Each structure stands twice: as structure tokens, then as C-alpha cells.
Structure 1
Amino acid sequence: MVRSAAPVPSDNKTPHVAVGKLPAAHLQALLAGLHRDDPRLVVGPKVGEDAAAIAFGDRCLVVTADPITFSTDRIGWYAVHVNANDIAAMGATPRWLSVVLLLPEHATTAALVDKIMRDVHETAEGLGITVCGGHTEITTGLERPIVIGQMLGEVARDRLIVKAGLKAGDQIILTQGIAIEGTALLAREKRDVLHGRVADDVLERAEQFLFDPGISVVAAARTAIDAATVHAMHDPTEGGLVSGLCELAAASSTGLHVQADRVPIFPETAAVCRSVDIDPMRLIASGALLIGAAAADADRLIAALNSQNIPATLIAEVRPASAGVTIEADGVTRPLLPPDRDEIARVFED
């Protein structure tokens, strides 16, 4: 069904929250008020958890939802991949996708709708995912289309991977490098800003980061869980690598020690970030996967990933909670604090 929604009045007296994720403390307060009495809810709402898990006998249904808000290009393709990543990071197989498509009142054409949905269908088909439903709506107050995906996957209950599974002594492996999605978004959406600051050939490569190396972590997650016992996985999205690491530590009630000089940063990412004075470690980083496992399994995991042409690097060690979350750079260790918001939000606000 396609319908037009009525405008919602604004409250000019309420202080505005900055663009990006809700502050963690605010989100935590919201989640604290939710009832979680259903015994079949294996993983419920929690800061840092991107998907829920619901028990069905010896299997779990894994459920996630994610919108595409910063991008105007290939948003159907984005919606499938970012939702599939959340499912895969819990060890599950992405199976079914429901799509909500919100369209701007004065800028929607049949060709635009067809293009977005064709992108959704073709991308889902490539991952073996069935588009099973959704909703379309032409609404006021939008400058561009927004796609919201809800994806479901399944996994054997004893194979479910949760972010709370890290143990002191575990090693953290990062696949690919940072920050694939943020680099592509900036190159595609802010090319006019970057032109003249970043070489044209670098911008062209950065634009193609969506596809090479790409933002999907489904293959990396599957390779990892087939190779060894994985204690936790996380795809670092908004807030980038720093946010992803802090969320893992918080979920597992552990500390972390990160070696900054081991973190692979793509040259294109470095060039783009330098041109707009942002930190690549705090830039949305879909396409990378954080994998936590016992130290004895780290080399085997890296070798398995490399055998599938997936670069992998050991970047951090899990420590007791009393050690805190720290990062070592140039011989100096300091606390690693979660960002208030993603660096890309700063650029889009300017």
C-alpha cells in the first residue's frame, strides 16, 4: 500500500539531540524500562547489541532492524547488506527481509521506486535472502528516500554468538581495515567538498569501496565460525572502530588493550579523513568485522580468513574489567573512550 502521511508538529522548546545515534546513557535509560520476561528471549535489547535472538526449540530466530539515512545512492543495496551483517555477526544465516520504504512527497517518481526495489531484490537474491514483505509510504518532511530493513536469520541455539562472550586473555581480530563504508559515503555524498582536497584517482577508488573491498561481512563471519570457536563478533558501524571495541568490552564486562599501530587504515580513508579533519578510527566502518577468540585460536582464524582472501589483523587483547579500555599509540597508553557520535555526522552537519 502507498499512502501519504500527515505532517507532525514540531516542539521548538525541546533541546535538539545531535545527528547520529542517541547518546548511550539516554539509550540505556530507554532500554531499562522495557520488560524482558519472555523466557524465549535469549538476547534482548542492550546497548551494543544489534540483533535479538528468540528461541524456537533447538534453534534461534535472530532479528535486527537498520535504516539507511546518510546515503542517497544505492540505498536498497545498503539496506540489505547492513542488516545481513548484524545477523551474520551473531553466527546466524540471513534468511528473510522486510523493507519499509519512506519516500519524499515532491521528489518521488515511479522510476525511483523501481530502482530502489530492484536494488533490494537483486542484492537479497545474491545473499540467498527472501524479501518477505514490508511497507511503502510517500510522506512529508523528507528530503530524500529512506529505507528501513528488518531482517531475520536462524542459527542452532548452541552456535549463537553474543557480544557478551569475551573472556580475559582473548584476542581481537579485525578483518579488512577501516573505514570502508565511511570512506565510500564521503566520496559519494560529499564529492564537491572533497574535490581539490583529495586527488581525483583517490576519490574514484574511494567511491568504489562499497563494492571493493565491499561492506558485507557475511563471508568473513561464516569463515570465522567454521574455523574455530568464536567468543564474540561485532561489525563496527556508527562510531567506527572505537565505538565497536568499546561496545564489545561493555557487553562482556571486560577491559581491552588496543594497539593503534596494528590497525589497518586504508590509504584512501586516511586521505579523505585528513581532508575534512576527522578521525578514521571513529568513522562508520561497515565492511570490517571484529572477532574475539581464545589466543590459541587466533592464528588459525587469521589463516582461514586469509585463505578466503579476507585480510585479518590482530589488533587488541581482552583484559579484566579492572584494566579498563585502553589504546597504545607511539609508546603511550591512554583510556579509549566511546565517541559521542560518528565523525560522518560532523561532516554532514557542516
Structure 2
Amino acid sequence: MIDRLPPGKVPWDLVARHVSGPLPGNVELGPGPGEDAALVRFGDALWAVASDPISFTAEQAGRLAVLVNANDVAVAGARPALFVAVLLVAPSEATPERIDRLLAEIRAACDELGVALIGGHTEVSPGLEHSVVVGTMLGPVEGRSLRTGGLAPGCRVSLAGWAGLEGSGVLLDEFGEALAGRIPAVELDALRAALAEHGISIVGPARAAAGVDGVVALHDVTEGGVGEALYEMARASGVTIEARPEAIPVLPATRRIAGLLSIDPAGLLGSGALLVGHEPDAADALARVVGALGLPFAEIGAVTGPAPEGSVSGLRRFPRDEVLRALALRGAAAWVFDMDGTLVDSPYDWTAIRRRLDVRSPSIIDDIEQRPEPGRTRAWQELRRIENHATERATAMPGARELLDLLRRHGVRTALVTNNSRENAEALLERFDLRFDLVITRDDGVWKPSPAPIERALDGLGVDPSRAVVVGDSRYDLEAGRTAGVRAVVILGPPDGEAGRQADLCFPNLDALARHAELCLDEGNAR
């Protein structure tokens, strides 16, 4: 069972029961899936209140905290006015200069937006890799209030701004010249110009859109990008949105970054982009007011009907932001590989094998081990015959040796963990010249989906699971890696497959993984 949540937003279902229940009469909008801000009435005035952390990056965390929280109150139809900041400073950054810089960033961003900094808290917090800034923004609603959940059948959903703009900037900062050097200068200049001119604030377009008749909902794009924001809007509204991913505005540099890192720009950190729910006849007016701000405006979806839990067709969800996926392999000191289906193409028909051996349990090995004699011995003999036959016909996956060589050149330790026998594993490794620092097979008395073989491999390599990556092709690899607590599980195969959907990273083949790894391992990236 996989019960460890990956980094990113916690699923709403885990939160809902703790924040549901009666609210004071002056709270007009409380907690809800996808809602960016609460709406609270103080006397005759209606105020929006929002809180968000900056946890992805240490770069300009103070400034980002102000802007992200300002976005959340702006999409409620409010003017950002009051800000409270909590600074949790990582011990590795706990210098007076670093704290001064964070506070200066907060002050400058507040001044830029006309926001008053009214309080907060600052401390050095143990256990943090980098500093985290948590902000709370309050603002009075001027005009009518809006919410994420205002869509109804017949409405359209449009995007103001570019998908993945913020995430592109984060990835350029993280990967440096190793990434920037692979992007044409003209595309890179356009991306940097968009970041400099528009940044991640959507206060301007949100306030402009709120003044257009026929606008029924606003939602700022953040973690999980446009894909996750669309789902949040659909769920908050209780509708189905039919998405048009081909219509989503994406800068050429963002698209190129996504291609180099094998990620999807629709799921890339997207502050600076705004989803607008509107009646069809409001589109022209919206295009004019948004265009006047120098931003693209494109219809990317339509509401086709009710759906109590919300749904989006045509574009998958991104519960884990693509930035986190792109950075998952950074700093890994050891890679643990599966063999069959990952490094070696062995012609196994597992359905036929299970039928032939009369396997009733999920694990073939567990099933055989639990049988009484002489049935157990006969089953092992038959399985070995099947494996030997497959080994004779096996071929190496394209790029297998090259990937292992790449890791070795960068000083990364490698291990093979396979449920095959040691005899077959060693025969295949010798035939295809695949070299590892350590090999664990079922003959060592441990096998997947138990985490034990991965734990034993990492213990032998002297590497903590938090600095290790598991690469495989199946649910067993995913379960074993997650339970062992490794930093990332990479699955080779379709992203919409059972294992691919849950993996930290998914690649179609080893060549694609190697291209990604080369960027992550580049010595020029070291931070």
C-alpha cells in the first residue's frame, strides 16, 4: 500500500472534514475546494482573506509571498490592502543579511501594490532545506465579489496570460546555463521580458476582468498549473469543463523547457496566469481589457454540464506540480534499477505465466513460496525454465548502457534490484555489458513489492533513501520505492498507466530519461 503523499498540495478530501461545519454569520464564503479566499463581512464592508506559503524556491521568496496572496484576494474582486508575513528561516540561511533581504523583498512588494505590512513573525526553524515565507492578505471587495465556483453550464473558461510562466523562471534559476544554453536566444529573451514586465501578479487583469459584465468566476493559476486550476474551478462549481489544451497560450521558451525536461507546460507552476469564467458574449470585452495590459487572452474550455465532484475532459490533472517533478532527480547520490522491462526487454507473458503456474496471489514469488512440497519445488523448476527461455531471447533496452555510463561519470552509485534469479541476472548483465556497484536478486531472500531489497541495496551503497532514485516499469517498483522512502520513483512507460500516473517522473524510454538526467547531473547546476 502506498500511503506517503508526494510534495505538493494535500488532496482536498483529507482536509475537508476538518474545515467543514457551521461558520459565523458574517462569513459569506468559507473553506472550499479551489476557493482562493474567504469572504468575511465587517460591518458594511466585505473583505477577502487569503493565506499561502512560498515553498518551491528560495529565490525572492519574500516578494513572491506578497504577490501570490495579493492574487488570491484580487480574484475575489477585492483590492489587496493588508499583509501579515511569517518567515521561517532555514538554519543554513540564518544570517542577518538573508533575513534582511527577505524582509526588504516583502516591504518593497507591499509598497509596489499599495499594501500595508501590519504584522507577522520571524524565526529560525530547524529541519528546513530553505526558508519558507507564509503570507496572509486581506482586502476590501470593491464592487461585486467573485469566487472560483461560479461556473454554470454554457459558460466559457478563458486564460489571461501564459501557462507555466512562473515555473519557467524557477527552472531557469535552478538549472542555470545548462538549461538556458539549450534555448534559442530570441525565445529566452521573450520569456525574460514577460517575466520582467508581467511577473506573477494577476491583480491588474483580475480587477479589470471583474469589471466586465458576464464574468462569473475568477481563479488564479498556481501549483499544478492550468490543468490543476481548471479541475479546481470545475470542482468548486460542480460542473464538467471540456478543455482545449491546444488553445492554451504558452511561450516558445516554456514549451522548449518542457520538452527538454519531459514535463507538461499545462501542469507547470503558473502564477501570473488567470482563469476567467464568463458568459460567451463577454469574450470580446474581456479580450480588449486583458489585451490592453499586454497579455494574451484565449478561450481554453467550455462548461458542458453539471458534475457534483467536478471533472475536466481533454486535459489531465496535475496534483503534483511539474516543477517538483523536474527537480526530483537533483542531488540523487544513488539510482536503483529494475531489470526486466526497464533495462532489458525480456519476452514474458505474465498473464500466461500466472495461468500456467496456477498463481492465485498478487506476487508470483510469494505464491510459490507459500506452497507445500513437492508443489513448491515443481513450481520453482517451471518458473526457472520460463525465465531461462526468456533470458535466451532477451535484448537490451536502447540507451541502457549509455545511461549507466552517464551516471558513473558523474559519480552516482548504482544498484540492480530484480525479482529474477542471480544466474539469469548475471548472464544478462554480462551479455549487455551493464555494470552496477551492487546487485540484489530474489536469491538474496528479498523481493519486490517489499521495500526490503531496495533498503538492502541502499544500505550496501551507503546512501540514505532520501538521496536515492528508483527506476522501474511496474507497480511493484513504485510500491517498493515509495515504501522504502526514496526521493523519487521513475517509471518507464505511458504516463496514463497505473504506475505512470502515480510516479514522481514518467518517461517513454531510457533515452528520454537520460536527456533529463544529463541536465540534472550537469556539474554547472550544482547549488
TM-score between both structures, scaled by the size of structure 2? 0.59
1:21 paired with 2:19, answer no
How much has 1:107 moved relative to structure 2?
2.9
Distance 1:242 1:337 in 2: 6
SS in 2 for 1:165: coil
SS in 1 for 2:327: helix
Distance 1:73 1:208 in 2: 18
SS in 2 for 1:131: strand
SS in 2 for 1:227: coil
- Which residue of 2 is the match for residue 120 of structure 1? 106
Task: Name the structure where strand makes up a greater proportion of residues.
Answer: 1
Which residue, out of 222, 230, 243, partners 2:215? Answer: 230
Distance 1:140 1:204 in 2: 39
- For the 8 Å contact 1:183–1:209, the answer to whether it is kept is no
- Which residue of 2 is the match for residue 65 of structure 1? 51
| Alignment of structure 1 residues 1-350 onto 2, 5 Å | 15-31=3-19, 34-156=20-142, 159-191=144-176, 194=179, 197-199=182-184, 202-203=187-188, 206=191, 209-321=194-306, 325-327=311-313, 334=314, 336-350=315-329
Distance 1:212 1:86, change over 3 A: same
How much has 1:143 moved relative to structure 2?
2.1
How much has 1:326 moved relative to structure 2?
4.5
- Identical positions, percent: 34
- Which residue of 2 is the match for residue 7 of structure 1? none
Distance 1:71 1:207 in 2: 18
SS in 2 for 1:349: coil
Superposed CA deviations along residues 91-120 of structure 1, whole A, max 9, x for unmatched, are 100000000011122432111111111111
Unpaired runs of 5+ residues, structure 2, are 330-527
How much has 1:196 moved relative to structure 2?
5.0
- For the 8 Å contact 1:162–1:232, the answer to whether it is kept is yes
- For the 8 Å contact 2:235–2:311, the answer to whether it is kept is no
- For the 8 Å contact 1:187–1:207, the answer to whether it is kept is no
- For the 8 Å contact 1:185–1:207, the answer to whether it is kept is no
How much has 1:58 moved relative to structure 2?
3.4
Distance 1:43 1:322, change over 3 A: closer
- For the 8 Å contact 1:98–1:132, the answer to whether it is kept is yes
How much has 1:231 moved relative to structure 2?
0.4
Give the stretch that moved more between structures: 51-60 or 88-97. 51-60
Q: AA paired with 1:227?
A: V
Distance 1:284 1:107, change over 3 A: closer
- For the 8 Å contact 2:48–2:138, the answer to whether it is kept is yes
How much has 1:16 moved relative to structure 2?
3.1
Structure with bigger gyration radius: 2
How much has 1:59 moved relative to structure 2?
2.2
How much has 1:55 moved relative to structure 2?
1.5
- For the 8 Å contact 1:181–1:209, the answer to whether it is kept is no
Distance 1:146 1:205, change over 3 A: farther
How much has 1:287 moved relative to structure 2?
0.5
SS in 1 for 2:241: strand
TM-score between both structures, scaled by the size of structure 1? 0.87
Distance 2:195 2:110 in 1: 16
- For the 8 Å contact 1:234–1:290, the answer to whether it is kept is yes
Superposed CA deviations along residues 212-235 of structure 1, whole A, max 9, x for unmatched, are 331110000111122324200001
Superposed CA deviations along residues 278-323 of structure 1, whole A, max 9, x for unmatched, are 0111111110101111111111111122223232112211221259
Give the stretch that moved more between structures: 39-48 or 93-102. 39-48
Task: Name the structure where helix makes up a greater proportion of residues.
Answer: 2
Distance 1:203 1:71 in 2: 21
- For the 8 Å contact 1:72–1:145, the answer to whether it is kept is yes
Unpaired runs of 5+ residues, structure 1, are 1-13, 328-333
- For the 8 Å contact 1:27–1:47, the answer to whether it is kept is no
Superposed CA deviations along residues 128-164 of structure 1, whole A, max 9, x for unmatched, are 10000000001211222111111111115x6110122
